[in-house]
Structure 1
Amino acid sequence: MMDQVSNHSLFGCLVTWAESSIDGYNGLRKANEAFLKAVIRYSCFNELHLFLHEGQISAFRQDWKEYLRQYGAGKNINILPVHDLPSCFQRHAYSVFHCGDPYISDLAALRERHASSLFPITGRAHSLSDDARLSRIRDLIFSPVKPCDSILCSSKAQKTVMKRLISSASASVSDTVGRAVPYRGQVSLIPLGIEPARQEAVPSGAGDVLQILCLGRLSAADKMDLHPLLLALNDLFEEGTVSRFQLVIAGAGDASGEYVRSLLAQAYEFNLEDCIRFELSVDDEKREQLLAEADVFVSLADNVQESFGLAPLEAMRAGIPVILSDWNGYRDLIVSGQEGFLIKTTSADHDDISRSLSLVSKTQAQLIQAQGVAVDIEALKTALSTLLMDESTRKAMSGAAIRRVNETFSWPLLIDQYHRLVDDLRQEASRIRHHQGRAVGMPYQDVFGHYASVALQETDFLVATDRGLRVLLMSERGFFFNQLSHLLDKNEIREVIRKLVTPQSVSNMQKLFPERQTLLFLLSWMLKYQLVSFSDEAEGRKPSFPGLPDWFKVEDPCQVCGLVFPEQLRSKWIKPVITQYVRLIQSYVNDIDSSEEGSESSLIQSIAQSVIEWMDDRLLQAIGWFAEDHTLTSYGEVLKLLESKGVEALIEAYPHWYRNIQKEFFQHVRVIRSLLSRVKQDLSEINHYFFSGSRQLASGLISIRNLQLDSGSPVYQLTFNNGEHLVYKLRDLAIDQLLVGYEQSMAQSLNGWLQDPDALGVFRMLNKSFYGYVEFIASETVSESDDLETYHRRMGVAAGFCLMSGLTDIHSKNLHLSGNKPYLIDAETALHNPVIMQLQAELQNPELSFLRGMQDSSLGLTGLMKVWENFHICQIRYSSVKLENGELVAEQPQTITAFLDHLLMEKGRHSLDGCHPPVASQYGKAFVEGFRSSVSAISQYSEQWCDYLKSMTGFEVRYQPRWNLNDARKQFRDLHVVRELQVLSRERLKGYLLRLAKRITLAGEVSQRWLDAPWQEPVSVLAESVAEGWQASEQRDFVRKLGESGVFVKRHDGTLQEVSRDYFSVNTIEKQSELIASLADHKLRDRFLNACQQMIEGWFEQHINAGEGMPEELRQEVLEALADRERKA
């Protein structure tokens, strides 16, 4: 072995090393290896002793061979096994002995036992949150550590933590032995370093899309949580601030683990999946490539184990501006605003739920602490938008980052500092006294409480964010780690959000939840996930509206007799509304009412009855809120309290509810007035066109019945005093006339080509441009048909007709049967883009295009095939409560009723009997026969058919955007049934609705990413119109004019407002004409029809799912009714 030599400097080191291929990237090991390499390259030590476990030495020699050859040639470097430490301590006087770990007690003990002379020991502190029991810190206190020994801390924050840990450990010792035992070593500050950077700025990543790089281990429990970054990017993306970027999340992680999956799920929910790339395997070469391509680096450390941040330093060395959380050692890396930005963090004292837990589950305790640290998302958004949008700022910060690295963190400078420290260590000493009464486990708040920029105070006011409201209303799922499930409960989260719809102080929340010991953690976590935010207002600004009108207060009994009220006790608040409603329409009713003078008006009774049903729903909802606010469920008690306070209490408590009722009331009045005046004006034409062959002409109306479902233009059944019925539709009927009208329509022509005048039903129609009248066809049930072969053949004809017309939304209610003849009730969706696009794909390759089955085929997209599967209809309820046995209870969001018009019944079997093959299977060939004949006839007369299509230019059709319609309907219902939305200011409600509309429409755009560019639709431009409609209590339809590129929104009065002039890229008239013309080629037509036939027959035989989506309870009711009917028969 080597002898001690005078003036000979000897550096010893206990090396922590592992093959990267085995363990992947490890920050602690990386930092220790970087320090060791810097000592080898830049230090003045003559000799180095590197100690490793014996089994590692061979691989270490091979791995470090090139580096040692290049930079260590001038030094005497010995690689030794750790078991040689005692003998080496005896034989050598080390200038310093280093350990890549702060717990140097074992080395001090070895030195005490074996060294012939004293030498300094240094240990590098890294994560200091691992020793929850403080046992290793106590070991330091009790060990023979000397004033010549020092623990090296990389940041000021870490140095403070180290001192606090020592203080806590000393206190625990004092509690046990009754005497304070000081730590006798030193705690010094020497940052970690990096190789010097080139002086010139490094160009930003190539390409048109700016790259945001997050580099580090993918773990929320011991690294950082990236969900807040996604929340910020989601805001910027949906607000339109930043539209193009790529977020690269790089580092060791488990692709199937909860954390990565949660990031992916949130990215999909926020429509960001195309903007995010994961790199879960990052070696040194890949790391350099990612840094070379990045434009912005982001690291939002929130974990107490993080103490410095090598990855940000690497980014700065590469000339990349950094965005860092204002947390621990990160705040030492940069000056915010010069080399990048520090983002404010907020935390609170969570020790009551994590300190004791740290003894048994350190990882979970650290996760709790980390989840209780919130970054300022607004500041993060500002930093991101600045660096992404301002190239000059990026360049300036790039140069500043390089200078900062070279002037503060370069290894040559830091190794010089280390040499000076080693020279001084024998003269330094530190003694620390400890206090009694410390709790067991890691005192996170005492030790790390200073990490966050600010602490959550009892005097702070918090308020639910729009994201919080979306989570409350389940329009957004939200996320928390499974390890926190004992601390976070979805229902409790929603309950806290509900209380914070208006600003509340933290202290008041503690009073509201006195038994919630973890409330501070919950609030901190909610801050972190942008569910709540700090509020400058002590109280929210509640919207106010004028009180009840004078006419409501006048005791004027309702003059309309025969009205039925759903419940008599609350009817007294509805009757004044009905009385006023009747006043407003009375003169219009008188002009068209056929009732004799002095007799009861059945017309006004029918109109008023529909208003009662609507008004009762709205009133019951407010009463339900009122009951909830006063913790009552008894209907009688609620009404008694409401009577004592007056109905004004509802208006004051729920102002948006009152405003919405006002809007709906006057909309309804305007629609009915308009209808009545139009019928009076058009009565002569109506008699001439519809009733000229009747025994008696009509002179007035006797009733009006609302037929409108959840959406669409208003539709009413009109009953005239001659016993005849018509349907009034508030839309242009030109497209219906051309398709299924009684004269010179496409359906008539097809019937002629097929030589079957009853193949498709046609209607008499009187179109008045903005509205029109349609012949009323009473629907029969299929079970009444004695010729199911003909029924299915004609349904096949209807399917071919719909496909060749590009129709969609052909559901059971839209397809009536009369005289075994199918009638298309509404043909307002002609030339629908998805149907035509899919038909085009099928004609390009018929043999392969139908492999995905009926649902994704052009025929499936018409909706007509659902007639054999759907035997129920759903209608949204606009009240979330109902009265049951004198109690107010929760109501289902939809009314679901059976609709059996197309139910097949034959020889003891029916469509819902659950047997295989289904009863419809035997009629598949009849359907195919009708379908083939229809498509073939249209193809043979393609010129005439295309002429029809071209004549559609300028016709209005309903446009169904490519989005989730259920999401839009849910939001419209929420406006009527969610109590929390009632207290929002009008401005905030407007912003909330617009944001939600943007999300729904953006999701529609993202869902089209696989489509060819011409077929993609810019759905997000509809967001403002959607939100405006919601706020105006309107479910607005969108309209396109065929042959044109614009899209319009239809208002409640039937008028159109242009939304976008350049919305559609494909002229569907030209495209469908082109496809029809191609079918004139009999070879292509036969290929298409043969492939389609194979799909249809297979579907009828094997894939019909009769009763799809029908609730089981309703199915059983239907089955019992059918069985009873069979028994009676």
Structure 2
Amino acid sequence: MSNAAIYFHPDGYDTTGAQLMGRHSAGESFLRGYLRHAQADQVHLFNASTQPPLHFKPLLDRIEPHARAIRWLARTSRHHLADPGCLYLPQPTLAPEAWIRRPLGRNRYSLCGITHTTATHRATDLLADMMTAPVEAWDALICTSDAVRSSVHVLLEQTREHLRAQLGASRFPTPEITTIPLGVNASDFTPSAEQRSAWRERLDIPQDAVVALYLGRFHAAGKMNPATMALALEAAAGSTGRPIYWIVAGWASTDDKTAAFHRQVQAFCPSIHYRPVDGRPPETRFSIWSAADFFISFSENVQETFGLTPIEAMAAGLPSVVTDWDGYRDTVRHGIDGFRIATTAPRPGLGRDLAYRFANDWVPYEGYLAAAAQTTGVDHAAAVTAIAALVTNPDLRRRMGQAAARRAQEHFDWAAIIPRYQALWSELAARRAAAAPEASDLAVIVDNPRRLDPFQLFATYPTGLLTSETLVRLAPGMTQAAARTRLTAELSSLGGWALPGSSEVDLILGHLVEHEQAKVGDLTPLFAVHRQGIVERGLLWLVKFAVIELVSPPEVTPGG
């Protein structure tokens, strides 16, 4: 199986922050699964942060204590990615990463990204930019559901149509776009009779009561509107004449918003025995499932692409009542693991004003999401029927829960998903190895036209340019000791990372002492090849601070 370097930044994997998002949970789950199940002797982590690897040991130990060797690759050493052969990105950033790779060689390694939400402007721009970036056939974008894969294809085809009409373009990058679902570490959600009893006692829930559970971030506009769940539970309680307890485990961005969320939801289900829980602590996120009899989640928001909580519920042996919506459709089998409730959206063309207002910043992102979600219908009657069936039929709950647990273990445990990642990376490696030589008209393009060398982009700003024929000499009265004092001043050393080092400066000055003056083209060969460009531009740093001078400075044009 092929390996990959995992792009590592703590923001992608740390679930202990106050603003816990779905991508954090998904990242933590993936990394734990990869460390457990990857068929590789060595784990490669690409350190995308500015912190040293030792700084992340507590985080990695918390995610998954591991015995295998970890090789850290520094953020400044992308050329070493040729060893694992692939860089796995926990986001769809193929386009900018392809430009970063370009000067190193288009086939030096593969890129493999993944979609999470694809509704933000940043996400859609990243996807569209793949059509003009040096993305290759040995790169891949993993879509977490068939629905999001379809939407990505729509976006890319619209981008191609624009480029055809506007520019006459006929050749476009063709990265692999495939569907691989998110996974879970199923054993982390194994139900426990002790936890069930403890949670019910803590929440004042009778041991024989029927309990529904919702777990997730609280954001009616940006996540899902909980009123549809509340209305369905309220109606099901009325139709069955049975008491229903509802554990609502989650979090909003502030305590006040959390309290407001609970207050607003309860107004829609006054007869439901409502039990709020902070869903952020790890001990809660993994144990609260044991308290429930079924899971409920009515997503109808375009920010969703997969939905991790339904498969967490499945791993916990819970049947689910979820909407028939993007990734939920790929996980819960209707009538087998639970029930999927039909959703209906407006026809294409009726949301152009929403997109236009969002594009113009007339409405915020959450306002755009809310407007789309509020006009997506959920089949209330079907939802009530499904909930009532689970409330009144313990055998149905048991059968569906058992089927769900088997499906989670066999299809969605990382033990089953990680090999699919590695098989994809193997396929990309084979394509890369078999690639034909690059077309000559593309081979000359190694720089990102949006991130050009400043001395190319702004070449007309100065009076003139330094060339290999330019003559330089020591400034009058300058000595090496005086130069050292001047160049180590705070104002002189700004941007020092891009300048010659002290030993290199000494060599330049020593040469000029010996030869009085020298051409730039005679000075630079005194240094290692990879330092020659730095030394050449650094000569103008020495000119700037009057350590050396140009024998014939460029002349300023009269007038102007």
TM-score by length of 2: 0.68
Q: Which residue of 2 aligns with 1:14?
A: 7
Q: Which residue of 2 aligns with 1:372?
A: 375
Shift of 1:67: 5.1
Shift of 1:136: 1.8
Do the aligned partners of 2:92 and 2:141 also contact (CA within 8 Å) in 1?
A: yes
Name the CA distance, whole Å, in 1 between partners of 2:18 and 2:255.
Answer: 18
Q: Which residue of 2 aligns with 1:420?
A: 423
**Deviation readout 1:426-481 (Å, 9 max, x if unpaired):** 5669xxxxxxxxxxxxxxxxxxxxxxxxxxxxxxxxxxxxxxxxxxxxxxxxxxxx
Shift of 1:399: 0.5
Look up the SS of the partner of 1:136 in the other structure.
helix
> What is the identity, as a one-letter code, of the residue corresponding to 1:154?
T
Q: 1:196 to 1:287 in 2, by over 3 A?
A: closer
Shift of 1:198: 9.6
Name the CA distance, whole Å, in 1 between partners of 2:189 and 2:429.
Answer: 38
Shift of 1:78: 2.5
Look up the SS of the partner of 1:232 in the other structure.
helix
Correspondence list, 1:847-858, <5 A: none
**Larger relative CO (CA 8 A, sep 6+): 1 or 2?**
2
Name the CA distance, whole Å, in 2 between partners of 1:167 and 1:116.
Answer: 24
Look up the SS of the partner of 1:152 in the other structure.
strand
Shift of 1:12: 0.8
Name the CA distance, whole Å, in 2 between partners of 1:311 and 1:336.
Answer: 16
Q: Which residue of 1 aligns with 2:244?
A: 245
Shift of 1:252: 1.9
Look up the SS of the partner of 1:13 in the other structure.
strand
Q: Which residue of 2 aligns with 1:222?
A: 222
Name the CA distance, whole Å, in 2 between partners of 1:319 and 1:59.
Answer: 37
> What is the identity, as a one-letter code, of the residue corresponding to 2:263?
L
Look up the SS of the partner of 1:278 in the other structure.
strand
Name the CA distance, whole Å, in 2 between partners of 1:101 and 1:389.
Answer: 43
Q: Which residue of 1 aligns with 2:468?
A: none
Q: Which residue of 1 aligns with 2:136?
A: 146
Look up the SS of the partner of 1:370 in the other structure.
helix
The yes-or-no answer on 1:159 pairing with 2:149 is yes
Do the aligned partners of 2:3 and 2:86 also contact (CA within 8 Å) in 1?
A: yes
Do the aligned partners of 1:147 and 1:427 also contact (CA within 8 Å) in 2?
A: no
Name the CA distance, whole Å, in 2 between partners of 1:88 and 1:95.
Answer: 9
> What is the identity, as a one-letter code, of the residue corresponding to 1:48?
V
Name the CA distance, whole Å, in 1 between partners of 2:139 and 2:92.
Answer: 11
Correspondence list, 1:73-84, <5 A: 73-74=67-68, 76-82=69-75, 84=76
> What is the identity, as a one-letter code, of the residue corresponding to 1:216?
G
The yes-or-no answer on 1:357 pairing with 2:357 is yes
Do the aligned partners of 1:194 and 1:410 also contact (CA within 8 Å) in 2?
A: yes
Shift of 1:171: 2.3
The yes-or-no answer on 1:113 pairing with 2:103 is yes
List alignment gaps of at least 5 residues for structure 1. 1-6, 430-1129
> What is the identity, as a one-letter code, of the residue corresponding to 1:86?
R
Do the aligned partners of 2:189 and 2:316 also contact (CA within 8 Å) in 1?
A: no
> What is the identity, as a one-letter code, of the residue corresponding to 1:423?
S
Q: Which residue of 1 aligns with 2:50?
A: 54
> What is the identity, as a one-letter code, of the residue corresponding to 1:362?
Y
Shift of 1:112: 1.7
> What is the identity, as a one-letter code, of the residue corresponding to 2:290?
A
Name the CA distance, whole Å, in 2 between partners of 1:106 and 1:358.
Answer: 24
Q: Which residue of 2 aligns with 1:190?
A: 180
Shift of 1:61: 1.6
Name the CA distance, whole Å, in 2 between partners of 1:323 and 1:399.
Answer: 15
Correspondence list, 1:990-1005, <5 A: none
Correspondence list, 1:803-818, <5 A: none
Look up the SS of the partner of 2:280 in the other structure.
coil
Q: 1:117 to 1:262 in 2, by over 3 A?
A: closer
Do the aligned partners of 1:323 and 1:341 also contact (CA within 8 Å) in 2?
A: yes
Q: Which residue of 2 aligns with 1:209?
A: 209
Do the aligned partners of 1:16 and 1:32 also contact (CA within 8 Å) in 2?
A: no
Q: Which residue of 2 aligns with 1:398?
A: 401
> What is the identity, as a one-letter code, of the residue corresponding to 2:131?
I
Q: 1:281 to 1:263 in 2, by over 3 A?
A: closer
The ranges of structure 1 where at least 4 consecutive aligned residues each deviate by more than 4 angstroms after the TM superposition are 56-59, 197-206, 254-260, 426-429
Name the CA distance, whole Å, in 1 between partners of 2:230 and 2:189.
Answer: 34
Q: Which residue of 1 aligns with 2:452?
A: none
Do the aligned partners of 2:38 and 2:419 also contact (CA within 8 Å) in 1?
A: yes
Q: 1:226 to 1:416 in 2, by over 3 A?
A: same
Name the CA distance, whole Å, in 2 between partners of 1:188 and 1:324.
Answer: 25
The yes-or-no answer on 1:37 pairing with 2:27 is no
Q: Which residue of 2 aligns with 1:299?
A: 297
Do the aligned partners of 2:221 and 2:366 also contact (CA within 8 Å) in 1?
A: yes
**Deviation readout 1:255-314 (Å, 9 max, x if unpaired):** 665685265245246523x61122235211011231111111011111112111211111
Name the CA distance, whole Å, in 2 between partners of 1:265 and 1:413.
Answer: 40
Name the CA distance, whole Å, in 2 between partners of 1:282 and 1:108.
Answer: 36
Q: Which residue of 2 aligns with 1:881?
A: none
Correspondence list, 1:405-804, <5 A: 405-426=408-429
Do the aligned partners of 2:234 and 2:268 also contact (CA within 8 Å) in 1?
A: no
For residue 346 of structure 1, the aligned residue among 333, 344, 347 is 344
Look up the SS of the partner of 2:406 in the other structure.
helix
Shift of 1:330: 0.6
The yes-or-no answer on 1:86 pairing with 2:78 is yes
Shift of 1:164: 1.4
Q: 1:288 to 1:60 in 2, by over 3 A?
A: same
Q: Which residue of 2 aligns with 1:314?
A: 312
Greater Rg, structure 1 or structure 2? 1
Q: 1:405 to 1:131 in 2, by over 3 A?
A: same
> What is the identity, as a one-letter code, of the residue corresponding to 1:348?
P
Q: Which residue of 1 aligns with 2:85?
A: 95
Look up the SS of the partner of 1:355 in the other structure.
helix
Name the CA distance, whole Å, in 1 between partners of 2:141 and 2:414.
Answer: 18
Do the aligned partners of 1:202 and 1:319 also contact (CA within 8 Å) in 2?
A: no
Q: 1:351 to 1:266 in 2, by over 3 A?
A: same
Do the aligned partners of 2:215 and 2:279 also contact (CA within 8 Å) in 1?
A: no
Q: 1:122 to 1:393 in 2, by over 3 A?
A: same
Shift of 1:383: 0.9
> What is the identity, as a one-letter code, of the residue corresponding to 2:410?
E
Do the aligned partners of 2:89 and 2:114 also contact (CA within 8 Å) in 1?
A: yes
Name the CA distance, whole Å, in 1 between partners of 2:223 and 2:123.
Answer: 21
**Deviation readout 1:474-514 (Å, 9 max, x if unpaired):** xxxxxxxxxxxxxxxxxxxxxxxxxxxxxxxxxxxxxxxxx
Do the aligned partners of 2:230 and 2:268 also contact (CA within 8 Å) in 1?
A: no
Name the CA distance, whole Å, in 2 between partners of 1:186 and 1:42.
Answer: 24
Do the aligned partners of 1:218 and 1:260 also contact (CA within 8 Å) in 2?
A: no
> What is the identity, as a one-letter code, of the residue corresponding to 2:249?
A
Shift of 1:214: 0.6
Do the aligned partners of 1:227 and 1:263 also contact (CA within 8 Å) in 2?
A: no
Q: Which residue of 2 aligns with 1:388?
A: 391
Q: 1:255 to 1:11 in 2, by over 3 A?
A: closer
Shift of 1:79: 3.4
Q: Which residue of 1 aligns with 2:112?
A: 122
CA RMSD of aligned residues (A): 2.8
**Deviation readout 1:862-895 (Å, 9 max, x if unpaired):** xxxxxxxxxxxxxxxxxxxxxxxxxxxxxxxxxx
Shift of 1:357: 1.9
Do the aligned partners of 1:104 and 1:121 also contact (CA within 8 Å) in 2?
A: yes
Do the aligned partners of 2:137 and 2:173 also contact (CA within 8 Å) in 1?
A: no
Shift of 1:43: 1.3
Shift of 1:130: 1.2
Alignment: residue pair count: 415
Name the CA distance, whole Å, in 1 between partners of 2:331 and 2:123.
Answer: 31
Do the aligned partners of 1:213 and 1:297 also contact (CA within 8 Å) in 2?
A: yes
Name the CA distance, whole Å, in 2 between partners of 1:24 and 1:56.
Answer: 24
Do the aligned partners of 2:128 and 2:159 also contact (CA within 8 Å) in 1?
A: yes
Shift of 1:391: 0.4
The yes-or-no answer on 1:65 pairing with 2:61 is yes
Look up the SS of the partner of 1:102 in the other structure.
coil
The yes-or-no answer on 1:136 pairing with 2:123 is no
The yes-or-no answer on 1:333 pairing with 2:323 is no
